[in-house]
């Protein structure tokens, strides 16, 4: 692996995101909408929570720079909007990110996101290890929480990346990202990331923003690194989960492209 290349690409991606301010259409769960929107603003993108089936496709085609689909609190109506937005994004040549929340643990939602992916493969598939294994056909996990390590999901990630010709990002203490050929490991971060609801969901939205300005592999690396390095800064001054969430937003906004390139732990 050319670590210098990825570090340089990380800096270029952060700069491009802030210069171009991509608009991310978020079809996401009700628990995390506010936090996701604030995270997008903090990194340098903009949010739009547009998931109505009557509007979703048109917005994806005409307005959005990228699309996030996160099925954390799915209804039949929202799933319809997700189908329409993801199909419209593919038809328009725009990136979309799928975050298959609780895949493998809840049959209906798992079947729906698989049908979505089969019909219009995502640019990036992002989840924790249990969700990636579950998407491939396993039944591990505890709701939205991972009970498997990222190492356990490497083979599944490779298989899914090759099957769908996409990038697969497996989030955990060591993040694993693959395009089916190259495997990138990222080791920044803080344990406090697991103590705030919605960080992983927001990460999917950030990936969609980055995918609008750089390649899918670089987008997944840049989004993950931006979040994890900022988390280190936030954790160093936070007094607990509440202050960490606020400090994280500030740290995401403060992190410079040069700082990220210098501090990223990539292998």
Both tokens of 194, joined, read 């697991």
Mean pLDDT of 62-77: 98
Mean pLDDT of 24-47: 98
Per-residue buried b or exposed e for 57-75, using 16+ beta carbons within 10 Å of the residue's own CB: bebbbeebbbbbbbbbebe
Q: What local confidence, expressed as pLDDT, does residue 143 receive?
A: 45
What is the helix (H) or strand (E) element at residue 127, kind and residue range? strand 124-128
At 95, phi and psi to the nearest 5? -75, 145
d(CA 170, CA 247): 24
* Cα→Cα distances 118→93, 112, 135, Å: 17, 10, 12
Q: Hey, is 23 helix, strand or coil?
A: strand
Q: What local confidence, expressed as pLDDT, does residue 1 receive?
A: 62
Q: What local confidence, expressed as pLDDT, does residue 147 receive?
A: 54
Q: What local confidence, expressed as pLDDT, does residue 47 receive?
A: 99
The answer to whether 120 touches 167, Cβ cutoff 8 Å, is: no
Mean pLDDT of 163-167: 99
Please write the tens of the pLDDT for every residue from 173-208: 999 999 999 999 999 999 999 999 999 999 999 999
Please write the tens of the pLDDT for every residue from 99-148: 999 999 999 999 999 999 999 999 999 999 999 999 999 655 444 454 57
Q: What local confidence, expressed as pLDDT, does residue 142 receive?
A: 46
The proportion of the chain whose per-residue pLDDT surpasses 90, expressed as a percent, equals: 92
Residue 91 confidence (pLDDT) above 70: yes
Q: How confident is the model at residue 224 (pLDDT cuts 50, 70, 90)?
A: very high
Domains annotated for the chain, with CATH where assigned, are: 3-263 (3.40.1190.20)
Residue 256 confidence (pLDDT) above 90: yes
Looking at the DSSP assignment, which residues form a beta bridge with residue 26? 68
Neighbours of 246 (CB within 10 A): 13
Question: What average pLDDT does the chain have?
Answer: 95
Nearest alpha-carbon partner for 35 in 200, 224, 163, 164: 200
* Cα→Cα distances 173→102, 137, 189, 226, Å: 18, 23, 7, 15
Neighbours of 237 (CB within 10 A): 11
Q: How confident is the model at residue 150 (pLDDT cuts 50, 70, 90)?
A: confident
Q: What is the DSSP string of 153-198?
A: GHHHHHHHHHHHTSEEEEESSSEEEESSS-EEEE----GGGGGSTT
Angle separating helix axes 199-211 and 3-20, nearest 10 degrees: 90
Q: Hey, is 46 helix, strand or coil?
A: strand
Mean pLDDT of 22-27: 99
Q: What local confidence, expressed as pLDDT, does residue 4 receive?
A: 72
């Amino acid at each position: 692996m050319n670590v210098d290349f990825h570090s340089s690409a990380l800096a270029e991606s952060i700069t491009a995101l802030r210069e171009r301010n991509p608009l991310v259409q978020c079809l996401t769960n009700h628990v995390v909408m506010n936090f996701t929107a604030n995270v997008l603003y903090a990194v340098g993108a903009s949010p739009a929570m547009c998931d109505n089936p009557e509007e979703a496709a048109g917005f994806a085609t005409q307005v959005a720079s990228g699309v996030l689909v996160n099925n954390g609190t799915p209804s039949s109506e929202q799933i319809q909007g997700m189908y329409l937005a993801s199909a419209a994004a593919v038809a328009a040549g725009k990136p979309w990110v799928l975050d298959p929340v609780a895949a493998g643990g809840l049959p209906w939602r798992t079947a729906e996101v698989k049908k979505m992916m089969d019909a219009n493969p995502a640019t990036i598939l992002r989840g924790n290890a249990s969700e990636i294994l579950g998407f491939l056909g396993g039944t591990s996990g505890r709701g939205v929480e991972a009970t498997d390590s990222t190492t356990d999901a490497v083979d599944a990630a490779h298989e899914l990346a090759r099957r769908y010709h996409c990038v697969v990002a497996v989030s955990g203490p060591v993040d694993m990202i693959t395009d089916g050929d190259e495997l990138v490991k990222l080791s920044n971060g803080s344990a406090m990331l697991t103590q705030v609801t919605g960080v992983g969901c927001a990460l999917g939205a950030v990936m969609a923003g980055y995918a609008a300005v750089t390649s899918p592999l670089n987008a997944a690396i840049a989004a993950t690194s931006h979040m994890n390095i900022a988390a280190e800064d936030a954790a160093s001054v936070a007094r607990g989960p509440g202050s960490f969430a606020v400090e994280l937003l500030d740290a995401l906004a403060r992190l410079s492209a040069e700082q990220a390139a210098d501090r990223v732990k990539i292998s």
